[in-house]
Amino acid sequence: MAKRKKSVKKRHKKNSYSKKQKSFLWFLVIIVILAPLSYITYNYIEKNLKVKKKPKKKAYLDKKILEKMNKMLQVERKKVDILKEELQNRKNRKKIIKTDTNKTTILKNKYSSEAIDYKKSLDIETKKSNKTNKHKIIVKSKKPLLAIVMDDVSFQNEANKIKKLPFKITPSIFPPTKIHPNTPNIAKEFSFYMIHLPLQAYNYPHPEPHTLTTSSSLSQIRKRIKKIKQWFPKDRFINNHTGSKFTSNYNAMMKLFEALRENKMVFIDSKTTAKTVALKVAKNFNEKLLSRNVFLDNKPDITYIKKQLKKAVKIAKKNGYAIAICHPHIQTFKALQSSSDILKSVKVVYVKDIYENSSYSSK
């Protein structure tokens, strides 16, 4: 009996074991069959039955929109550049100079040094003016001509302000330096401009880099003028920045005129000194010479500037033309902006218009 029970248990175990095996085998069979079927079904549904997903549209910008955005960026960059230049300009123009008496004075405008020498020579010039008018220039024009030259132009914000004025201004632009490296590009924005050439002064403690001096050789002056012509290929006219010592030195001016003639350039005398020999040298080269008649902004005062402008108009009416020099000061721009009524009786022109329409009197 005991043996029978054991044999029954063994059979029962075998049967149960075979059932487990069978169920596992069926499970495998189902997986093997269903897996590829489900894969095929899924692909079929994806391709045929389900609505195809539309591909996301790639974000793109129209060319016109891109151009507008670029222009806006350029405008904003220019504004930033102008602000940078203005800050640099203010730093350069407000330097503290120590004097011999250990006192400090602020040089509010580093570049308007022409006025320093001009003030000292003004009395002498007034006395001499009546005696030295033999070399008179005649201008062919129905209306008196007035050229307003703005010296010391070196930054973009100054160029922008000049272009907003309601009449012609002749910008006289500095050669490039580390402080104002962009002047050749600024010059391209004007249909006419001059070069403001730094020359040695008697009374000026902060000369521009590469200022020509009375000891400069002919080859050095030639090299400098040639370089200026490379920077400013369209330029024909120059006037002196400072230069009271240089322009009163005959030998130095002879060398300068020779270098200018070689490069087909014309000298306009800023007359920073009454002792200038520019006219004498011009005669030697058989060239006519135009000179500054009035400085407009020796004082940074709108009323004074307008008074000087009226003086320039009076000279233009008397002589047929006049040349007034000013600088890119805030007060100067304000005064010029509101001076159209003062200038009604004259024709405001570029310096070249006076030069090209003038000749020496034969009398």
Structural domains of the chain in order of their starting residue, each with its CATH number: 63-107 (no CATH), 114-360 (3.20.20.370)
Work out the average pLDDT over 111-119. Answer: 55
Task: With a cut of 90, say whether residue 331 has pLDDT above it.
Answer: yes
Work out the average pLDDT over 30-38. Answer: 70
For residue 341, which phi and psi values (nearest 5 degrees)?
-70, -35
The residues facing 323 across adjacent strands are 147
Which pLDDT does position 103 carry in this prediction? 33
Task: With a cut of 80, say whether residue 272 has pLDDT above it.
Answer: yes
Which pLDDT does position 289 carry in this prediction? 97
User: Which conformational region is residue 264 in: left (phi greater than 0), alpha (psi within -120 to 50 degrees), or beta?
Assistant: left
Identify the weakest region by mean pLDDT among 81-85, 254-258, 271-275, 290-294: 81-85
Task: With a cut of 70, say whether residue 46 has pLDDT above it.
Answer: no
Work out the average pLDDT over 77-91. Answer: 62
The residues facing 291 across adjacent strands are 269
Whether the pTM exceeds 0.75: the reply is no
Report the 10 Å Cβ neighbour count for 350: 22
Work out the average pLDDT over 329-349. Answer: 97
The whole-angstrom separation of Cα 19 and Cα 28 is: 14
For residue 177, which phi and psi values (nearest 5 degrees)?
-140, 180
Which pLDDT does position 71 carry in this prediction? 74
Which pLDDT does position 109 carry in this prediction? 43
For residue 303, which phi and psi values (nearest 5 degrees)?
-60, -45
The whole-angstrom separation of Cα 141 and Cα 267 is: 22
- 149 near 295, Cβ under 8 Å? no
Residue 290 is which amino acid?
L
Task: With a cut of 50, say whether residue 80 has pLDDT above it.
Answer: yes
Which pLDDT does position 206 carry in this prediction? 85
Identify the weakest region by mean pLDDT among 19-33, 37-51, 201-215, 270-284: 37-51
Which pLDDT does position 259 carry in this prediction? 98
Which pLDDT does position 98 carry in this prediction? 37
Give the confidence band of 74 by pLDDT, cuts at 50, 70, 90: confident
pLDDT tens digit sequence for 205-264: 889 999 999 999 999 999 999 999 999 999 999 999 999 999 999 999 999 999 999 999
The candidate with the shortest Cα–Cα distance to 357, out of 144, 171, 148, is 144
- 218 near 188, Cβ under 8 Å? no
Rg (CA), the chain: 42
Which pLDDT does position 270 carry in this prediction? 96
Give the confidence band of 152 by pLDDT, cuts at 50, 70, 90: very high
Which pLDDT does position 247 carry in this prediction? 97
